[in-house]
Amino acid sequence: MALFGITDGITRRIDGAVASVSEVFFEPVVRVGVTGLSRAGKTVFITAVVANLLARGRMPQLRAEAQGRIEAVYLQPQPDLTLPRFDYEAHLAALTGDDPRWPASTRAISELRLSFRVRPSGLLAGFGGPRVIHVDIVDYPGEWLLDLGLLEQSYEAWSEATLERLAKRAEAADYVARARAEDGALRLDEARVRDLAARFTAYLAAARDLGRVDCTPGRFLLPGDLAGSPVLTFAPLPKPATTGRGSMWREMDRRFEAYKARVVTPFFRDHFARIDRQIVLMDVLGAIHQGPRAVEDLRRTMAEVLSAFRPGRNGWLSGLFGGRRVERLLFAATKADHLHHVQHPALTAITVAMLAEAKARADFAGAKTAALSLAALRATVEDVVERDGARLPCVRGRLLASGKQAAMFPGLLPTDPARLLSPAREGAERWLDAEFGLMSFAPSRLTLKPGEGPPHIRLDRAVEFLIGDRL
Ligand SMILES: Nc1nc2c(ncn2[C@@H]2O[C@H](COP(=O)(O)OP(=O)(O)OP(=O)(O)O)[C@@H](O)[C@H]2O)c(=O)[nH]1
Ligand SMILES: [Mg+2]
């Protein structure tokens, strides 16, 4: 109890000040990771969360808010001076301007610090004034987690597995033919290596555009300031009979090892290992719309992504984590505003079923987990239309392509997830008994009342799960 008294006194004095020793000791920091594969909805999610925490009129499920204990929420300079800041203002301006747009793709790590001033609850309520809690939100591409799998592989094993996978893919035909024709025993020729890497990258880009989600190494498609450097200039090659010094295969091997040591390891050590709470966003509806193959790809890729949350799985990683682990892990199916709310439970059930295998294997190292369906920014309203005598629960919004208003009934999701997941697993080409059409909606023009954030679905529940216990 005494500790709280002291804390409160100090908190009040350094209120709004920059970090100090006392802040480190008395103002707890929660690091929340936000991840998901490309286009999963990370940027929109973070922007909407921040906007709805700064103006909390639509956050009734956030307990501290419902109890009236949140005195203030404000943005602060982030502690990590070398990470790009999450460009909240620009993304919010895009989403809520006169001509609302979805924000541009981001594809790199960024961070934002949000600070809360809250009155303590329960037994402690009578003791002293408010506390300050900092929430650091870290946005990073889920693809980077896939690279964790590379750390356990040698260049030889990775090449073999990758070439085997590529052999079955039409979009990889050019690269596979080129790689098979290459003799890795020959002396290194930089122009040839660059050509191989360029073709391999072109394959990865084509695979991504087809909706494939296993496009590793992650940085080939998201190179940032590493573009063109040797650490990103390698590709899988069959192992030749001899791999002498100075051979192409040896050099590729060296670069692959450098990628692991200089690109992958620092991300896990400096960022991933410090995350306390994590939300993983998944565009499950998008995958269902694309068909069984996309659903199966998403399921397999998520299982791989999530193995990163299993620190016990090898000694190397445990060492890196220093015994720390993620305490809470939330899986969220995004863009749920494409569905009438009567279908949300089915979407959540499919999401849970997709993750079942990964969860059974790991149980996420004791982390508390949950799943839900949400829309970070609600772009539709619900409606019911009559068709052929049936009443269909649908949604209505402004179409991205034409700007026209339209109602959409995307199809009925089965309440038994196996109806989708089994055919997907068995390699079906298309859904047998149903079609799931999706239209892309533009964000709607908003007129917000004072104290109200942009409209959403279950964003408050997501925030409550992630940080509610710390407020
Ligand atoms: N209807 C609807 N669409 C959404 C929502 N959130 C995201 N989207 C759509 O999904 C797209 C991708 O969202 P982003 O937040 O940019 O996704 P991201 O994960 O940051 O994507 P990258 O930065 O490319 O990795 C958007 O351009 C929207 O079209 C939502 O809540 N509702
Ligand atoms: Mg983004």
3-state secondary structure the chain: CHHHHHHHHHHHHHCCCCCCHHHHHHCCEEEEEEEECCCCCHHHHHHHHHHHHHCCCCCCCCHHHHCCCEEEEEEECCCCCCCCECCHHHHHHHHHCCCCCCCCCCCCCEEEEEEEEECCCHHHHHCCCCEEEEEEEEECCCHHHHCHHHHCCCHHHHHHHHHHHHCCCHHHHHHHHHHHHCCCCCECCHHHHHHHHHHHHHHHHHHHHCCCCCCCCHHHHCCHHHCCCHHHCCCCCCCCCCCCCCEHHHHHHHHHHHHHHHHHHHHHHHCHHHCCEEEEEECHHHHHHHCHHHHHHHHHHHHHHHHHHCHHHCHHHHHHHCCCCCCEEEEEECCHHHCCHHHHHHHHHHHHHHHHHHHHHHHHHHCEEEEEECECCCCEEEEEEEECCEEEEEEEEEECCCCCEEEECCCCCCCCCHHHHHHHHCCCCCCCCCCCCCCCECCCCCCCCCCCCCCCECHHHHHHHHHHHHC
* Ligand 1 atom 32 nearest Cα: 335
Q: How far is the CA of 253 from the centre of ligand 1 (A)?
A: 37
Mean pLDDT of 182-190: 94
For residue 262, give both structure tokens: 């200089």
The number of the ligand 1 atom at minimal distance from the alpha carbon of 338 is 1
Q: Identify the band that residue 324 occupies on the pLDDT scale cut at 50, 70 and 90.
A: low
From the CB of 107, is ligand 1 less than 6 Å away? yes
| Average confidence (pLDDT) over 98-107 | 90
Going from the Cα of 376 to the center of ligand 1, the distance in angstroms, rounded, reads: 9
Say which range, 38-52, 146-160, 452-466, has the weakest mean pLDDT.
146-160
| Tens of pLDDT, residues 355-382 | 987 777 666 667 888 999 999 999 999 9
For residue 397, which ligand has an atom nearest its CA?
1
pLDDT score at 105 = 87
**Tokens (6 digits) for 447:** 């007129």
Tokens of 318: 């445990």
* CA-139 nearest atom, ligand 1: 20
**Of residues 167, 414, 431, the one with CA closest to residue 296:** 431
- Residue 26 pLDDT class (50, 70, 90 cuts): confident
Give the pLDDT score at 319. Answer: 62
418 CA distance to ligand 1 centroid (A)?
A: 27
Query: Which atom of ligand 1 is the closest one to the Cα of 106?
Result: 23
Residue minimizing CA distance to atom 9 of ligand 1? 41
The closest ligand to the CA of 104 turns out to be 1
Q: What percent of the chain lies above the pLDDT cut of 70?
A: 89
More confident call, 340 vs 357 = 340
At residue 353 the predicted structure's pLDDT band, cuts being 50, 70 and 90, is very high
Residue of 38, 43, 279 to mutate, ligand 1, most atoms within 8 A of C-beta: 43
Q: Pick the residue with more confidence: 378 or 320?
A: 378
CB atoms within 10 A of CB 177: 11
Q: Please give the mean pLDDT across all residues of the chain.
A: 87
Q: Determine whether the shortest distance from the Cβ of 379 to ligand 1 is under 6 A.
A: yes
- Identify the band that residue 335 occupies on the pLDDT scale cut at 50, 70 and 90: very high
Residue ID of nearest Cα to ligand 1 atom 10 = 41
Closest CA to 435 of 408, 403, 416, 395: 408
On the question of pLDDT at 14 being above 60, the answer is no
Task: Give me 279's structure tokens.
Answer: 């939300």
Name the closest-CA residue to atom 27, ligand 1: 102
Residue 44 clears pLDDT 60, i.e. is over it: yes
What are the phi and psi torsion angles at 369 (to 5°)? -120, 155
Residue scoring higher pLDDT (173 or 301): 173
pLDDT-based confidence at residue 439 (cuts at 50, 70, 90): confident
Nearest atom, ligand 1, residue 286 CA: 10
C-alpha dihedral over 206, 208, 212, 217, to 10 degrees?
100
Q: Average pLDDT for residues 405-428, to the nearest whole number? A: 91
Distance in Å from the first CA to the final CA of the chain:
17
Pocket test for ligand 1, best of 35, 37, 39 (most atoms within 8 A of CB): 39
- CA of residue 20 to ligand 1 center, whole Å: 37
396 pLDDT higher than 80: yes
pLDDT for position 222: 81
As a whole number of angstroms, the distance between CA 236 and CA 32 comes to 35
For ligand 1, is residue 375 a contact (CB within 6 Å)? yes
Ligand 1 pocket, 39 CB below 6 A? yes
Spatial distance between the Cα atoms of 468 and 364, rounded to a whole number of angstroms: 20
Q: Which ligand is nearest to the CA of 444?
A: 1
- Atom 21, ligand 1: residue with shortest CA distance: 39
> Could you report the per-residue pLDDT of 202-248, keeping only the tens digit for each?
999 999 888 776 788 989 988 877 888 999 999 999 999 999 999 99
> Of 248, 254, 242, 255, nearest to 188 (Cα)?
248
Kindly give the distance from the C-alpha atom of residue 88 to the centroid of ligand 2, in angstroms, as a whole number. Answer: 11
Whether 198 has a pLDDT exceeding 70, the answer reads yes
Pocket test for ligand 1, best of 86, 335, 382 (most atoms within 8 A of CB): 335
Structure tokens, 206: 């084509």
Greater confidence, 32 or 149?
A: 32
- Nearest bound ligand to the CA of residue 142: 1
Pocket flag, ligand 1, residue 317 (CB < 6 Å): no
Does residue 24 surpass a pLDDT of 60? no
Burial 430-444 (b: 16+ CB within 10 A, else e): ebeeeebebbebbbb
- How many whole angstroms from 96 Cα to the centroid of ligand 2? 17
- Confidence band (pLDDT; 50, 70, 90) for 252? very high
Q: Which residue CA neighbors atom 5 of ligand 1 most closely?
A: 335
